[in-house]
Amino acid sequence: MTKGSKTKISFFCKECGYESAKWLGQCPSCSAVASFTEAPSSTTKGGKSAGIRGLSLGSTKPSKISEITVTEDDRVVTGIEELDRVLGGGIIPGSLTLVGGDPGIGKSTLLLQMCKYLSDKDKEVLYISGEESLKQIKMRAMRIGQFHDSVSLLCETNLANISAAIEDSKPLVVIIDSIQTMFSDEATGAPGSASQIRESTSILLDIAKRLGIAIFIVGHVTKDGIVAGPRMLEHMVDTVLYFEGDRYASYRILRGVKNRFGSTNEIGVFEMVQEGLREVTNPSEYMLSGRAMGASGTVCTASIEGTRPILLEIQALVSETTFPNPRRQSAGADYNRVNLLIAVLEKRLGLRIGGCDAYVNIAGGLKVYEPAIDLGIILALASSYLDKPIDEKLLAIGEVGLGGEVRAVNLIENRVSEAVKLGFTTIVIPKVCLERIKDKFANKAGEIEIIGVDNVKKAVDLIR
């Protein structure tokens, strides 16, 4: 430390990153309670605060936007189509990507597979682990396949040594596994603390932007399903990917929740096998596999994830209750939305489901919250209550309002096209959407039947 400089203690909010010279019980920015944590803030000569670590990007001279050229060739294809889809087409050099998920879900396996595909193209990759030894990583890599010498491994947790190794080798891609194990001498607290995670991410962000190296950091999640550490970690990075799914099930879903270089609604579907993660190129067929034929309370619907239509099976079970208060349970669909739709069935159709237990499940483990699946939930609940099976070749799409009306949904052409491709012959859609698609599917009039309904009564009458 130079003469005349000193270090003072400041505090920052773990939720939004607001900084204060003293500890506060409630954040004035985001109103979070007891969210302030201590962090050192270096001061320059004369006592003026240096603030948050800045990015050393070289020249400070402004550039005209017309002089900057950007092409899709700047992206680096990973070789994993589902990962490329979620990233927006590939890896952007100089980007910082956070990959979060439950322990054992497959984060490290996915990134190690990405390293293998990049090594097949002679791309330099540096895999840095703070959790496993070199032999442990090698054993996991042997299960995936043969790696080339363009992949280097390093076991280190000190950011000063890691920075030196990156600047010395200058790889195309760096993997940090995980951010909770990294520490910097410039921050207080143990590895994994809010101040250490904040400082470590700031250092990695500086390296990525200054050297044009794409860095992927692995982050563990809390019991609430968010990345452990300060919430501002998600604001600092360019892309946030979440790996979802049950660790004991075979399916995995990679979802982009933040992406400065692509859509934030895209998903990638994977299946966990002995050799690692296998891409599911046709999620609709995968989600509908193993359907129970001839059973009541099951119907198919179509959801849009990013630009991709995915067909889903909605299952409902309505039975007489043995409890003083009927039970309600929802897996994959919004719980409050299901209760609302049950109330619509009672009020508009007179189905007395209020005195019954009601369970709704989206098969395959996908979580869907868009209102376009409302009509599917309505038909599944009515089918189970009436104990009348729905034709397995019928698919229902539509948003349901409180008045029982069936409202329009977006991208109806894409949804119907996917249904036709998978062999559905009866498609129930909102009546207001019929005009949009009648010309496109006019040549299939003898193969498929598209029915437009304007209220839930007409839809339920189809299965009575």
Whether 55 has a pLDDT exceeding 70, the answer reads: no
Q: 119 with 254, same domain?
A: yes
Q: 308 with 416, same domain?
A: yes
Specify if 90 maps to a domain. Answer: yes
Last residue of a domain, one of 262, 281, 300: 281
First-to-final CA distance of the chain = 80
Q: 12 with 89, same domain?
A: no
Identify the bridge partners of residue 220 per DSSP, sorted by sequence position: 101
Q: 177 with 318, same domain?
A: no
Return mean pLDDT, the chain. Answer: 86
- What is the distance between the alpha carbons of residues 242 and 227, in angstroms, rounded to a whole number? 9
**Of the segments 60-69, 158-167, 259-268, which one has the largest average pLDDT value?**
158-167
The parent domain of residue 11 ranges over: 7-42
Specify if 2 maps to a domain. Answer: no
- What is the distance between the alpha carbons of residues 125 and 170, in angstroms, rounded to a whole number? 9
Q: 369 with 388, same domain?
A: yes
Last residue of a domain, one of 281, 301, 316: 281
Q: Residues 90-123: pLDDT tens digits?
A: 999 999 999 998 888 889 999 999 999 999 999 9
CA proximity to 448, closest of 456, 437, 459, 458: 437
Q: 32 with 154, same domain?
A: no
Specify if 272 maps to a domain. Answer: yes
Whether 83 has a pLDDT exceeding 60, the answer reads: yes
The number of distinct structural domains making up the chain is 3
Pairing state of beta strands 125-129 and 151-155? parallel
The per-residue DSSP string of 405-442 comes to: BEEP-S-HHHHHHHHHHTT--EEEEEGGGHHHHTTTTG
Specify if 62 maps to a domain. Answer: no
Whether 131 has a pLDDT exceeding 50, the answer reads: yes
pLDDT at residue 44, as a whole number: 41
CATH of the domain at 433: 3.30.230.10
Whether 17 has a pLDDT exceeding 80, the answer reads: no
Identify the bridge partners of residue 312 per DSSP, sorted by sequence position: 301
Whether 238 has a pLDDT exceeding 90, the answer reads: yes
Q: Please classify residue 122 by burial: count the beta carbons closer than 10 Å to its beta carbon, then call 0-12 exposed, 13-18 middle and 19+ buried.
A: exposed
Q: Residues 350-376: pLDDT tens digits?
A: 999 988 999 999 987 788 989 999 999
Arithmetic mean of pLDDT, 136-156: 91
Specify if 47 maps to a domain. Answer: no
Whether 45 has a pLDDT exceeding 80, the answer reads: no
CATH of the domain at 187: 3.40.50.300
- What is the distance between the alpha carbons of residues 429 and 452, in angstroms, rounded to a whole number? 5
- Percent with pLDDT over 90 in the chain: 54
Q: 88 with 22, same domain?
A: no
CB atoms within 10 A of CB 119: 20
Question: How many Å is the Cα radius of gyration of the chain?
Answer: 26
Last residue of a domain, one of 253, 281, 309: 281
Q: Are 388 and 411 in contact (CB under 8 A)?
A: no
Q: Which helix (H) or strand (E) holds 239?
A: strand 239-244
Specify if 298 maps to a domain. Answer: yes
Specify if 393 maps to a domain. Answer: yes
Contacts of 244 (CB under 8 A, 6+ apart): 101, 105, 252, 253, 254, 255, 365, 367
- What is the distance between the alpha carbons of residues 380 and 331, in angstroms, rounded to a whole number? 14
Q: 120 with 219, same domain?
A: yes
Q: How confident is the model at residue 419 (pLDDT cuts 50, 70, 90)?
A: very high
Specify if 127 maps to a domain. Answer: yes
Q: 141 with 227, same domain?
A: yes
Whether 48 has a pLDDT exceeding 50, the answer reads: no
Q: 295 with 234, same domain?
A: no
CA proximity to 39, closest of 85, 8, 74, 79: 8
Is 0.95 topped by the overall pTM?
A: no
Q: 115 with 235, same domain?
A: yes
Q: 257 with 291, same domain?
A: no
Q: Residues 241-272: pLDDT tens digits?
A: 998 877 667 788 898 889 998 888 788 989 88
